[in-house]
């Protein structure tokens, strides 16, 4: 029993979480729900003012957290704006790490239409940022083909090796461990050496998870949630990712070469609730269930 709990706790250590500028308005102080030094991604959503991302990153820094702002390539005007953003992030927010993504818009607003173009400007490196996340897609993407995803990942591996960048992959949220573990083995066999953070949906109602799955357009996981959502009586039941985490922990422990290193939580059911859940799992405050998975024990 103890070894299983330790395995799960080890896999779930050093977790990160994300917050939107809108979600941040509901949090009086990040110190109330996070331990000092927690890594928190700050989204840069299509059509929003990047100043909002800067403001939240600055709040996090002042509260003793490690802000990781998103850089959404297709929402950036040009290299000058990117330079200004990076200057603000590093000087005002203590940023040492960013997540560089394509961004969910069909038509770029400016000079960039892909993550690799942003990375190749050299501006991230110029501002002293050496740790950079890029997007991963265990279930594919509705925006680009599997072949394009594979080519982009190969290019990012090459750039990391060439420039000495500490690149890592951070994935969309998933629901089934077998799908994620199979994807990790496939990209590793194809030459990926970048460490991976797996997206975990925080505890939320099935109705909420179904809505976010629809928005994200994820494939097999969408079918997984849709099957549960058909039961109207269970729509407001809170679904925790305990089976996903257990399956990932088992896969990570069984394969020494596995590149999955951390979990990144999407707080669909609320920021404070997700942070408490993530912290409880990492600390091993869990009780194993007879049919698999676990419950987090409240402190």
In this prediction, residues 55-82 reach a mean pLDDT of 97
> Hey, how many other C-beta atoms are within 10 angstroms of the C-beta on 75?
23
Same domain, 228 and 191: no
Residue 101 lies in a domain: yes
Same domain, 208 and 197: no
The per-residue DSSP string of 72-116 comes to: EGGG---HHHHHHHHHHHHHHH---EEEEE--S-SS-SSS-SSHH
Report the alpha-carbon distance of residue 221 to residue 153 in Å, rounded: 22
What's the pLDDT band for 292 if we cut at 50, 70, 90? confident
- Domain residues for 227? 204-238
Both structure tokens of 227: 């099957």
Same domain, 85 and 192: yes
Contact 110, 76 (CB under 8 A): yes
Same domain, 212 and 103: no
Residue 299 lies in a domain: no
Q: What percent of the chain has pLDDT over 90?
A: 73
In this prediction, residues 195-208 reach a mean pLDDT of 91
Domain CATH code at residue 247: 3.20.20.220
- Residues 189, 192, 193, 199, CA torsion sign: negative
Same domain, 159 and 224: no
Same domain, 91 and 218: no
4-43 pLDDT, tens digit per residue, is: 999 999 999 999 999 999 999 999 999 999 999 999 999 9
156-168 pLDDT, tens digit per residue, is: 999 999 988 999 9
Same domain, 97 and 211: no
Residue 246 lies in a domain: yes
Report the alpha-carbon distance of residue 148 to residue 159 in Å, rounded: 16
What's the pLDDT band for 45 if we cut at 50, 70, 90? confident
Residue 232 pLDDT greater than 80, yes or no: no
pLDDT score of 1: 47
Report the alpha-carbon distance of residue 216 to residue 161 in Å, rounded: 31
Report the alpha-carbon distance of residue 286 to residue 299 in Å, rounded: 10
Contact 73, 112 (CB under 8 A): yes
What's the pLDDT band for 99 if we cut at 50, 70, 90? very high
Q: How many residues does the chain have?
A: 299
Residue 288 lies in a domain: no
């Amino acid at each position: 029993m103890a070894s299983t709990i330790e395995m799960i706790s080890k896999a779930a250590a050093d977790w990160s979480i994300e917050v939107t500028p809108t979600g941040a308005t509901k949090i009086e102080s990040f110190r109330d729900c996070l331990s000092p030094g927690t890594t928190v991604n700050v989204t840069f959503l299509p059509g929003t003012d990047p100043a909002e991302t800067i403001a939240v990153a600055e709040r996090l820094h002042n509260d003793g957290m490690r802000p990781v702002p998103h850089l959404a390539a297709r929402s950036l005007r040009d290299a000058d704006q990117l330079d200004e953003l990076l200057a603000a992030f590093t000087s005002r927010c203590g940023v040492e790490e960013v997540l560089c993504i394509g961004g969910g818009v069909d038509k770029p607003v400016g000079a960039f239409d892909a993550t690799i173009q942003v990375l190749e400007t050299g501006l991230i490196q110029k501002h002293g940022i050496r740790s950079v996340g890029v997007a991963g897609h265990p279930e594919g993407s509705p925006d680009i083909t599997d072949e394009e995803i594979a080519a982009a990942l190969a290019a990012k591996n090459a750039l990391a090796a060439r420039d000495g960048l500490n690149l890592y992959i951070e994935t969309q949220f998933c629901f089934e461990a077998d799908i994620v573990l199979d994807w990790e083995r496939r990209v590793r066999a194809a030459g990926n050496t970048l460490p991976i953070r797996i997206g975990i949906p925080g505890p939320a109602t099935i109705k909420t998870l179904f809505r976010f799955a629809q928005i994200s357009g994820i494939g097999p996981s969408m079918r997984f949630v849709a099957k549960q959502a058909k039961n109207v009586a269970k729509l407001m039941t809170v679904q925790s990712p305990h089976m996903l985490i257990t399956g990932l922990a088992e896969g990570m422990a069984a394969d020494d070469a596995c590149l999955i290193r951390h979990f990144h939580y999407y707080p669909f059911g609320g920021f404070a609730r997700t942070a408490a859940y993530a912290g409880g799992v990492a600390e091993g405050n869990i009780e194993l269930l007879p049919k698999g998975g676990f419950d987090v024990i409240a402190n």
